[in-house]
Amino acid sequence: MPHAYTEDQLVEQPAIGLFAELGWTTVSALEETFGATGTLLRETKSDVVLVPRLRPALERLNPNLPVDAINSTVNELSRDRSAMSLAAANREVWELLRDGVKVAVADRERGGLKSERVRVVDWDNPPANDFLLMSQMTIRGELYTCRPSLHASICSGIPR
């Protein structure tokens, strides 16, 4: 019988239960499988941004923007920020989530390019977002491999 006084029993499982009560989808990635039909739809342990969930969510939230704008947004959200301080990287990503990602798109009326903001989170209709909590997701970086107890993901515009 597992010991009752473990981090898993005292912290992780109650937190997972709380997120589930709040309507989040919860997934254990302890024995994750990879690929298009895998647990989290990611190809490798180095994939941190769940692009197969993100891309369709961005398309639903921004239906009038071209594919190039969505691709630029995915690239910006997935950009390596490891050279930045943790505070600066977190601030930058928070601003992208809050304000959207500024991209250049073709201006079909006037020609040339115009600036647009791709919305990442549906702040006007929070229940329309997809809230995912992953437990024990292994992340492999250039220097270290880590497995945070809990990892949260919010994708916009996914119908529930």
Say if 119 falls within a structural domain: yes
Say if 39 falls within a structural domain: yes
The pLDDT score that the predictor gives to residue 117 is 96
Say if 160 falls within a structural domain: no
Structure tokens at 86: 């943790």
Say if 107 falls within a structural domain: yes
Q: What is the pLDDT along the chain (160 residues), one digit of tens a residue?
A: 566 788 888 889 999 999 999 999 999 999 999 999 999 999 999 998 999 999 999 999 999 999 999 999 999 999 999 899 999 999 999 999 999 999 999 888 898 889 999 999 999 999 889 899 999 988 898 888 988 888 777 665 544 3
The pLDDT score that the predictor gives to residue 102 is 97
Q: How many domains does the structure of the chain reveal?
A: 1
Say if 59 falls within a structural domain: yes
Contact by Cβ (8 Å): 106, 113: yes
Domain residues for the domain of 141 are: 7-155
Residues linked to residue 151 through DSSP beta bridges, in sequence order: 134
The span from the CA of 155 to the CA of 149, in Å, is 20
The pLDDT score that the predictor gives to residue 146 is 87
Say if 14 falls within a structural domain: yes
Q: Give the count of alpha carbons within 13 A of 143, CB side only.
A: 2
Residue from 68, 71, 92 nearest 80 by CA:
92
Q: Which residue has the tokens 């898993």?
A: 8
Contact by Cβ (8 Å): 155, 132: yes
